[in-house]
Structure 1
Amino acid sequence: MKKLIVMMLLILLLVACNTSENTESTEESSKEEMKEVKLVLDWTPNTNHTGLYVAQAEGFFEEEGLDVEIMLPGEAGSDQLVASGQADFGISAQEALTEARTQDIPIVSIAAIIQHNTSGFAAPKEKGITSPADFAGKTYGGWGAPIEEAMLEALMSEENASVDDVNIVNMGNTDFFTAVERDIDFAWIYYGWTGIEAELKGIELDMLYLTDYAEELDYYTPLITTNEKKIKENPELIRSFLAAVANGYKYAIENPTEAADILVEAVPDLDEELVHASQEWLTDRYVDDANYWGEQKSSVWENNATWMYEQGLIEKELDVEATFTNEYLPQ
């Protein structure tokens, strides 16, 4: 009897070991099958990126067999990292991509995160800036890009004013609210983040949206990019990635409160109240009047590229059809 009990225990032990080994082997095999993907942001995390963090937290990437690392851009910037293949996907803006493409940098836009440009020039009400003509004699705080002066000139010239009368200062990463309290009169902001933050702080802003002044200034910002090599060699990866991301933004649209919670949990340093308020403001703007999330139109690219060419911001005309695609989006 003792021998029988010992034999049975040995058999059970062997079965348990085999089961454990099989489980570990299955888990290792599953991990090996997951495709590692690097996604680089354009800036610090905010509600433009909510759908990405939702896709990660809710397992949408995992369902597509993707192990996605969300990275900050660092000094190199997202466009350079994507173009060089150091990142598979990136977040950028139409004006930056237009410039890159005309310099033969092989990156392509594969989805628009928000359908319409929500940016513009903002100033606290006490600065007295209610039209582009009021920029004259004031100090503008920017980040040193050529498009800033061109944008100011385009808006001011329509009102017989000149950008030469604006004191342009590079304020780098200085917070908008700190800057306007110190020595800056106005800056270029995205209302969905900085504008909402002003509302929460009780600061009244005069906001001059770019879209109020010209159709060609209603461009895609932000958008998602990849490089031409990735499209050629692994189109299924792009389809899988965008399927997960589209589900992430669909979730954010339908569940803004829960989506905001996911972003705050992923990035605890963010102001929770701001994230929730911004998320509510952006919810209807992700898709807006498009047929589906991520859709891009040739006319939007053509209009803005023509404007940039006329302003001398790009040296040659843009090949629009090579610059963006809707092909890999779920519809």
Structure 2
Amino acid sequence: MNSPPDPGDRPPNLTRRSLLALGLGAGVTALTAWGGGPGSGAAGTQQAANDGVSMTDVSLALDWTPNTNHTGIFVAQQLGYFAARGINLRIVPYGSTAPETLISTHKADFGISYQDGLTEAAVAGGDIVSIFAITQKTDVVIGVRADAAIKSPAQLDGKVYAGYGGPMEVPMLQYVIRAAGGTGQFKDVTLNTDAYQALYAGQADFAMPEPTWEVLQAALVGKPLRTFDVTDYGFPAIYSAIIASSNHYLHRNGDVAKRFLAAIEEGYAYASAHPTEAANLLIQANQAVLGTQTELVIQSAQLEAAQYYKDAEGRIGYQSAARWQALTAFMFENGILTDSAGKPIKTEPKVSTLFTNQYLPASVTA
């Protein structure tokens, strides 16, 4: 990948990091085209070799440039959790081909996705299934300037929304605004900029930033936001970051998938228990990308550890059928799901085809 990803490269993810929010410049991706390197678990790989463990090559495609959603992955790599389980992990940086496509065409063994995006890809005929929930809490909120007179989503009627053109944005906002007492009528403009920048520049009245990144960044630069959690108004919770694979790969490499997720789960358990240390390991592995944003990365890692990695029962990676059903039903009822020809599907998909917990460590599913 020779240039940073553009929002038009793939169907926008409501929770995908914006390039500007990460503060990256035009050649940074050349610095992240790694699968190993300093601190990438080389010592653990050598130890595994010395112990006679057979190493298996595994590829994981990122959904964006390295960020705190990926913390547990880099922790597991840095601390040798993959190597200890006989896995030689190659991290594939985000490029012009979406992870969902790489997985479905069997060019990558695993990849980072998100619930609504995976659902769209699977319904359109992609060979893809979610196997691990990185975040258990919806990582998108409605945001307005902190000094705005807007105190409720109901007051967004007639206002200007700065979006990214994703198919679920408008239906989601209409749902929340109506649930708050409004009509759901607003103007929608597509901007290629950070949420807080658009709001403070007067280009829009509200946006949907990520609380674990853009909202924190906005506060750090002196442009704070007031936010509204969409789930507070009855909108279905979203698995905003997940790990996916293909049925093709899983059916042939089930044991590898289980060892891979055991290392992933251990990495996110460490990130949950030691967020600052985990953030530093993430930065260490991606110095060129994140080295100038230490405070933001640490704050984000701490927030994700406190609120996002574990579900209500304290489980990491686990996915609920009820949550998959709720969002899938919303997407189906609003005509968001289309077949390979781009036509709305006529039958609601079975969520059992979209996700599975069977490759998680037994301690998670027990």
2:56 corresponds to: 35
Residue identity matched to 2:267: G
Cα drift, residue 291 of structure 1? 4.7
Cα drift, residue 176 of structure 1? 2.6
Cα drift, residue 120 of structure 1? 1.1
Q: 1:263 aligns with which of 282, 303, 306?
A: 282
**Per residue, is there more helix in 1 or in 2?**
1
Residue identity matched to 1:280: Q
Tell me which structure has the larger Cα radius of gyration. Answer: 1
Q: Write the deviation string for residues 203-249 of structure 1: whole angstroms up to 9, x where unpaired.
A: 332111111111x5212111110011011111111111101111111
Cα drift, residue 54 of structure 1? 0.4
- Bigger CA drift: 269-278 or 193-202? 193-202
Cα drift, residue 178 of structure 1? 2.6
Q: Judge conservation of contact 2:132–2:242 (CA < 8 Å) in 1.
A: yes
1:188 corresponds to: 208
Which 4+ runs in 1 deviate beyond 6 A?
none
Q: 1:247 aligns with which of 266, 275, 283?
A: 266
Closer, same or farther in 2 for the Cα pair 1:45/1:129, shift >3 Å?
farther
CA distance in 1, matches of 2:108, 2:213: 26
Alignment partner of 1:310 is 2:333 = yes
Structure 1: unaligned runs, 5 residues or longer: 1-26
Measured on the aligned residues, the alpha-carbon RMSD in Å equals 2.1
Task: Give the secondary-structure state (helix, strand or coil) at the position aligned to 1:146.
Answer: coil
Alignment partner of 1:221 is 2:244 = no
Cα drift, residue 135 of structure 1? 2.1
1:7 corresponds to: none
Alignment partner of 1:60 is 2:81 = yes
2:106 corresponds to: 85
Cα drift, residue 180 of structure 1? 2.2
CA distance in 2, matches of 1:288, 1:160: 30
Cα drift, residue 195 of structure 1? 1.7
Residue identity matched to 1:41: L
Q: Judge conservation of contact 1:106–1:228 (CA < 8 Å) in 2.
A: yes
1:22 corresponds to: none
Structure 2: unaligned runs, 5 residues or longer: 1-45, 338-344
CA distance in 2, matches of 1:288, 1:161: 31
1:176 corresponds to: 195
2:220 corresponds to: 200
Q: Write the deviation string for residues 241-279 of structure 1: whole angstroms up to 9, x where unpaired.
A: 101111111111121111010111112232100111111
CA distance in 1, matches of 2:123, 2:265: 29
- Bigger CA drift: 30-39 or 272-281? 30-39
CA distance in 2, matches of 1:199, 1:288: 27
Cα drift, residue 103 of structure 1? 1.8
Residue identity matched to 1:208: F
1:7-26 equivalence runs, <5 A:
none
CA distance in 2, matches of 1:178, 1:122: 12
Percent identity of paired positions between Structure 1 and Structure 2: 36
Q: Judge conservation of contact 1:101–1:318 (CA < 8 Å) in 2.
A: no
CA distance in 1, matches of 2:247, 2:286: 31
Q: What is the TM-score when the length of structure 2 is the normalising length?
A: 0.77
Q: Judge conservation of contact 1:115–1:290 (CA < 8 Å) in 2.
A: no
Residue identity matched to 1:283: A
CA distance in 1, matches of 2:312, 2:136: 8
Closer, same or farther in 2 for the Cα pair 1:212/1:232, shift >3 Å?
same
CA distance in 2, matches of 1:231, 1:237: 8
Q: Judge conservation of contact 1:120–1:188 (CA < 8 Å) in 2.
A: yes
Task: Give the secondary-structure state (helix, strand or coil) at the position aligned to 1:43.
Answer: coil
Q: Judge conservation of contact 1:118–1:209 (CA < 8 Å) in 2.
A: no
- Bigger CA drift: 65-74 or 31-40? 31-40
Alignment partner of 1:237 is 2:256 = yes
Task: Give the secondary-structure state (helix, strand or coil) at the position aligned to 1:192.
Answer: coil
CA distance in 1, matches of 2:60, 2:336: 28
Q: What is the TM-score when the length of structure 1 is the normalising length?
A: 0.85
1:151 corresponds to: 172
- Bigger CA drift: 242-251 or 36-45? 36-45
CA distance in 2, matches of 1:303, 1:175: 29
Alignment partner of 1:123 is 2:144 = yes
Residue identity matched to 2:360: L
CA distance in 1, matches of 2:137, 2:224: 23
Cα drift, residue 160 of structure 1? 5.6
CA distance in 1, matches of 2:157, 2:351: 35
Task: Give the secondary-structure state (helix, strand or coil) at the position aligned to 1:114.
Answer: coil
Alignment partner of 1:136 is 2:157 = yes
Cα drift, residue 126 of structure 1? 2.9
CA distance in 1, matches of 2:333, 2:260: 36
2:354 corresponds to: 323
Residue identity matched to 2:70: H
Residue identity matched to 2:75: V
Task: Give the secondary-structure state (helix, strand or coil) at the position aligned to 1:190.
Answer: coil
